[in-house]
Amino acid sequence: MGKRVGMEGSFAASEAVKMANVDVIAAYPITPQTHIVERLSEFVNNGELDAEFVPVESEHSAMSVCAGSAAVGARSFTCTSSQGLILMSEIVYCTAAMRLPIVMVIVNRSLSNPISIWNDHTDVMSIRDCGWIQYFAENGQDVLDHVLISYRVGEDRDVMLPVIVNMDGFSISHVIEPLELLDQETVDKFLPPYKPGVVLDPTHPVTMGAIVLPTCYTEAKKAQDEAVKASMPTILKAWQEFGDLSGRYYHPIEEYRTDGADVLLVTMGGIGETAMWAVDQMREKGRPVGLLKIRLWRPFPFEAFRKAAEKAKMLVVVDRAVSYGGPGGPVASELKSALYNEPKRPPVVNFIAGLASRDIAPFDFIAMVDRAEGTIKKGMGPLYEIYGVRE
Amino acid sequence: MEKLNVYAAKLVPKNENFTQGHRACQGCAEVLALRHIGKALGKNVIIASATGCMEVVSSPFPFTSWDVPWIHVAFENAAAVASGAESGLKALMRKGKISPRKIFVLALAGDGGTNDIGLQALSGALERGHDFLYICTDNEAYMNTGIQRSSATPWGASTTTSPAGKVIPGQATWKKNMAAIAAAHDIPYVATACPSYPFDLMEKVKRGARIPGPAYIHVLAVCPTGWRSPPDLSIRLGRLAVETGIFPLYEVVDGKYKITVDVPELRPVEDYFRLQGRFRHLTKDMIDQIQRRVRKEYDRLRKRVEMTMED
């Protein structure tokens, strides 16, 4: 058993990066990501972590430095938020296609304009199709555990993909929570040193990032898609082994009080814990409401989701990003796609809420379930509703 | 250039690190520069290349012209990718994960990837002091996309986005002086070079690579396709650029300027212009204006040499 401490979510990420003994950290400051790199700089400058800290001049260069360092075989880390993420997004796509197993923590924050430092998922949804494995953490402990799990999975020779750990800005990154640190011995058992396959090495010259003509581009993209899909067994195995070592078992879709639930709330990220409160309150009043929390966003766990959703009579999906003029929030769109070809599919009611840290309290979840039930009775309403707009 | 007097063609390594079979145009002086650079650096090098002509012509999957490790990620980030490779090697060697040895890290980009879109990443890498060499092969426009003007395009030159029109006669701005910008970072080594002077180029590449810390070399690369010049005149055009004083060859070592191929009597710029279609429309007035500026710039360079000369 590891040591139990009170620790900020950001520092949990830094602690995990230290325990993973990374070789290169490249980052550019942006709120609310800053605490992670501040702490990492302290680790490096105090000799607690033997790594190169590259204080780059932009997020675009942060990801580019990681591309270079990962290509020579160094375990590499970066983290960012919001505008920083979309500035670096060009290289986020490149590193996935180049199969460089970088780990990035995204401290989720709204996109401009209007400029907002607060939390929602509009930043990461802008790179939804970048080809990285993507987790969503629910609390500081998840963050700590998933940085380690990410290196283990991404560096696996059957996977070789970069991995994103999403954590909500402020509500996770700046909140001190009780969490359990793993001792280094346990971490080392779970996460062996990185043994890269192909690297830039003068004794074995390789060409990386070659130009591919239309004759091979489709094949390259097919291979990339297969690689992301094929990472699922490795992800599940890593979670199982991590659970055996730490006692904390993770799943692609976390279910909460779903037995006999007619209505399932669906959340992703930190609001899941508030939703649990709301479910408890509704259950106390005898309402058959349960909760699904999506932990793994890419590769999307279609099988686990369909299984979890098959008995429900209605899904109430809470999204934290907008697809302007589109079919609804990205999570709801995804779930609808997952269910569309199923013979029995529950209706999906979609609320977009919690933009720029607008609070979602337990009573908001209850209100959403009430509204959704009303909507269904009247026949399906609009594709989605932006919840809680002040008029 | 102290060793130049013992240099001879037969002392140049026969080994090619940039090999035949690439897709460059006839008379491309940029691939010639890469070949010289490859010979100068030898096998112990890792190259980070920007998007551009040289990336496209050298790596059409499943073929490659590179017999050394080479990576291309994107257009504007060669300096940052090289920073990462250098940092990664440093950390891995210090932690005993790979055997400690000197591996040169080279970033390669064209003038678009350096003067324009890559300037921020380059400035960052120079400022951070990575031990690497950055070489810009400058053909004075976006040749890969079809001869659009860049900030390295000389004043008056006709390109597809600075055409010689009836009102505006070609490029309306003067060439951005990248070597001066690199030197302003106070890095240990900055130089200009040209494959028409292969020994000068190779010597500078060796020196830039060996000096600890960041080094920058700006290489003028004649582009017959974009310059509308006969492919068999590429070497001569490079020489004329130097002999007219349009592209002086010099180096800046720890802030001290030195002209490496001195031209006591500059040739008239017209000698250089008349072999190139991109300058065909220049009037006598325009040529005179360029001539005055070239003299002034060359004098200024000479003054810098005097000012920074060792006692």
Q: Is the minimum CB–CB distance between A26 and chain B shorter than 8 Å? A: yes
Tens digit of each residue's pLDDT (9 = 90 or more) over B239-269: 999 999 999 999 999 999 999 999 999 999 9
Q: Which residues pair with A322 in a beta bridge?
A: none
Residue A305 pLDDT exceeds 80: yes
Residue B3 pLDDT exceeds 70: no
Query: In chain A, which residues fall in CATH 3.40.50.920?
Result: 253-386
What's the average model confidence in pLDDT over B166-185?
Answer: 98
Q: Is the minimum CB–CB distance between A69 and chain B shorter than 8 Å? A: yes
CB-CB neighbors (< 8 A) of A205 in chain B = 66-70
Residue B85 to residue A72, Cβ atoms within 8 A: yes
Q: Residue B311's pLDDT band (boundaries 50, 70, 90)?
A: low
Query: In chain A, which residues fall in CATH 3.40.50.970?
Result: 4-246
Angle, CA A87 vertex, CA A235 and CA A145 arms, to 5°:
25
Q: Under 8 Å CB-to-CB from A222, ≥6 apart: which residues? A: none
CA distance A227 to A238: 17
Residue B237 pLDDT exceeds 80: yes
Residue of chain A nearest B51, judged by CA positions: A211
CB-CB neighbors (< 8 A) of B67 in chain A = 205
Residue A68 to residue B83, Cβ atoms within 8 A: yes
Task: Tell me the ipTM for this assembly.
Answer: 0.97
Q: What is the pLDDT of residue B1?
A: 45
* A–B interface: beta-carbon pairs under 8 A: 171
Judged by DSSP in three states, B74 sits in coil
Q: Is the minimum CB–CB distance between A243 and chain B shorter than 8 Å? A: no
Q: What is the pLDDT of residue A133?
A: 98
Tens digit of each residue's pLDDT (9 = 90 or more) over A183-216: 999 999 999 999 999 999 999 999 999 999 999 9
Neighbours of B86 (CB within 10 A): 29
Residue A205 to residue B44, Cβ atoms within 8 A: no
* Contact map slice: A 213-242 vs B, CB within 8 A: 213, 216
Q: Residue B6's pLDDT band (boundaries 50, 70, 90)?
A: low
Measured in angstroms, the CA of B264 and the nearest CA of chain A are apart by: 42
Domain residues of chain B, as ranges?
A: 2-308
CB-CB neighbors (< 8 A) of A93 in chain B = none
Residue B95 to residue A23, Cβ atoms within 8 A: yes
DSSP state of A329: -
Q: What is the pLDDT of residue A156?
A: 98
Which two tokens mark A86?
Answer: 């979309």
Tens digit of each residue's pLDDT (9 = 90 or more) over A143-162: 999 999 999 999 999 999 99
Residue A179 pLDDT exceeds 80: yes
Residue B61 to residue A65, Cβ atoms within 8 A: no
Residue A75 pLDDT exceeds 80: yes
Residue A38 pLDDT exceeds 60: yes
Judged by DSSP in three states, A54 sits in strand
CB-CB neighbors (< 8 A) of B92 in chain A = 23, 72-74
Q: What is the pLDDT of residue A157?
A: 97
Q: Residue A380's pLDDT band (boundaries 50, 70, 90)?
A: confident
CA distance A212 to A218: 10
Measured in angstroms, the CA of B283 and the nearest CA of chain A are apart by: 42
Tens digit of each residue's pLDDT (9 = 90 or more) over A52-69: 999 999 999 999 999 999
Q: Residue A137's pLDDT band (boundaries 50, 70, 90)?
A: very high
Angle, CA B99 vertex, CA B97 and CA B105 arms, to 5°:
95
| DSSP conformation letters of A175-238 | -EEEEEPPPHHHHHHHSPPP--SS--BTTB--EES-B--HHHHHHHHHHHHHHHHTTHHHHHHH
Q: What is the pLDDT of residue B30?
A: 98
Tens digit of each residue's pLDDT (9 = 90 or more) over B259-309: 999 999 999 999 999 999 999 999 999 999 999 999 999 999 999 999 998
Largest CA distance in chain B: 65
Residue A1 pLDDT exceeds 70: no
Please tell me the CATH code under which domain A253-386 is placed: 3.40.50.920
Identify which of A24, A205, A207 has the shortest CB distance to residue B91.
A24
How confident is the prediction for chain A on average, in pLDDT? 97
* Contact map slice: A 140-159 vs B, CB within 8 A: none
Interface test with B, best of A61, A99, A195, A199 (most B CBs within 10 A): A61
What's the average model confidence in pLDDT over B219-224?
Answer: 98
What's the average model confidence in pLDDT over B130-153?
Answer: 98
Please tell me the CATH code under which domain B2-308 is placed: 3.40.50.970
Residue A71 to residue B84, Cβ atoms within 8 A: yes
Residue B7 pLDDT exceeds 70: no
Identify which of A64, A202, A211 has the shortest CB distance to residue B73.
A64
Residue A319 pLDDT exceeds 50: yes
Interface test with A, best of B34, B43, B61, B117 (most A CBs within 10 A): B61
CA distance A165 to A359: 22
CA distance A111 to A108: 9
Residue of chain A nearest B124, judged by CA positions: A57
Residue of chain A nearest B123, judged by CA positions: A57
Identify which of B59, B66, B124 has the shortest CB distance to residue A205.
B66
| Annotation: CATH topology of A4-246 | Rossmann fold (3.40.50)
Residue B48 pLDDT exceeds 80: yes
The model scores a pTM over 0.90:
yes
Q: Is the minimum CB–CB distance between A57 and chain B shorter than 8 Å? A: yes
Residue B88 to residue A23, Cβ atoms within 8 A: yes
Tens digit of each residue's pLDDT (9 = 90 or more) over A257-279: 999 999 999 999 999 999 999 99
Measured in angstroms, the CA of B201 and the nearest CA of chain A are apart by: 23
